[in-house]
């Protein structure tokens, strides 16, 4: 091969290599940009979702404290019957302007299922209201309502913590309001569970007499 052909081949190879290298660098730049944007989108999603989940958990704690009394007296209009004093909160994740698909499937599923879990609790309470209404205390209704919202609050708090881990967000320390709230919610669940068990034991003793 003469020197002219060699020079032509070298020039061609250099040109092709330049194009390939240029495309490779563009692809790398686009990948880095895309990765950076995805990371920012995930961080934004988690910040928004954590804020709403924490607010929902706080509201659930308020409902979990509602035993149908106000200032130590029955909250009903007649002053004798127990009545709801704190309205139930709502968690509406589909109203958030975020891309839920950025999350791992398990985490996304659990968050988006919270409204369905609340709907099931509302249905259960409605059934108690219709078929097991026991004035003036409505004990089973308030036990179920308090326990149900305590469980929802604990779930929301746990999901918020998982989102923080996923996005690398800072964690609250053990003395935070969130920790105290979660301790309260756990105590509600344990307390109502104990009361239900004591009630079942009394019913069993009565039935055996």
DSSP secondary structure of 101-167 = GGS-HHHHHHHHTHHHHHHHHHHHHHHHHHH---TTT-HHHHHHHHHHHHHHHHHHHHHHHHHHHHH
Determine the 3-state secondary structure of 95 from DSSP. Answer: helix
Determine the 3-state secondary structure of 69 from DSSP. Answer: strand
147: exposed, middle or buried (C-beta count within 10 Å: 0-12, 13-18, 19+)? buried
Q: State in Å, rounded, how far the first CA of the chain is from the last one.
A: 113
Distance from C-alpha of 164 to C-alpha of 152, rounded to nearest angstrom? 18
Write down the pLDDT at residue 25. 41
Write down the pLDDT at residue 174. 45
Determine the 3-state secondary structure of 90 from DSSP. Answer: coil
Write down the pLDDT at residue 188. 98
Residue 64 Cα distances to 84, 139, 159, 188, angstroms: 11, 14, 19, 7
Write down the pLDDT at residue 5. 58
Q: Split the chain (209 residues) into runs of 10 and give each run's mean pLDDT.
A: 56 56 48 62 94 96 96 90 96 95 96 97 96 90 98 97 90 71 97 94 78
Specify the DSSP class assigned to residue 75.
-
Residues 6+ apart with CB under 8 A from 69: 75, 82, 85
Q: Where are the domains of the chain?
A: 42-208
Determine the 3-state secondary structure of 42 from DSSP. Answer: helix
């Amino acid at each position: 091969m003469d020197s002219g052909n060699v020079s032509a081949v070298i020039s061609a190879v250099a040109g092709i290599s330049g194009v390939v290298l240029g495309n490779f660098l563009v692809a790398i730049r686009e990948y880095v940009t895309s990765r950076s944007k995805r990371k920012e989108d995930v961080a934004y999603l988690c910040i928004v979702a954590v804020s709403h989940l924490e607010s929902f958990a706080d509201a659930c704690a308020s409902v979990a404290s509602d035993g149908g009394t106000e200032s130590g007296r029955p909250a009903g209009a007649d002053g004798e019957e127990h009545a709801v004093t704190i309205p139930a909160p709502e968690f509406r994740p589909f109203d958030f302007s975020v891309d839920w698909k950025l999350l791992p499937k398990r985490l996304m599923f659990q968050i988006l299922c919270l409204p369905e879990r609340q709907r099931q609790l509302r249905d259960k309470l409605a059934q108690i209201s219709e078929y097991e209404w026991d004035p003036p205390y409505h004990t089973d209704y308030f036990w179920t309502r308090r326990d149900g919202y305590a469980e929802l609050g604990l779930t929301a708090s746990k999901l918020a913590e998982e989102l923080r881990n996923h996005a690398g967000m800072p964690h609250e320390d053990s003395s935070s309001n969130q920790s105290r709230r979660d301790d309260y919610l756990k105590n509600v669940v344990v307390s109502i569970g104990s009361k239900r068990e004591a009630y079942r034991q009394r019913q069993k003793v009565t039935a055996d007499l």
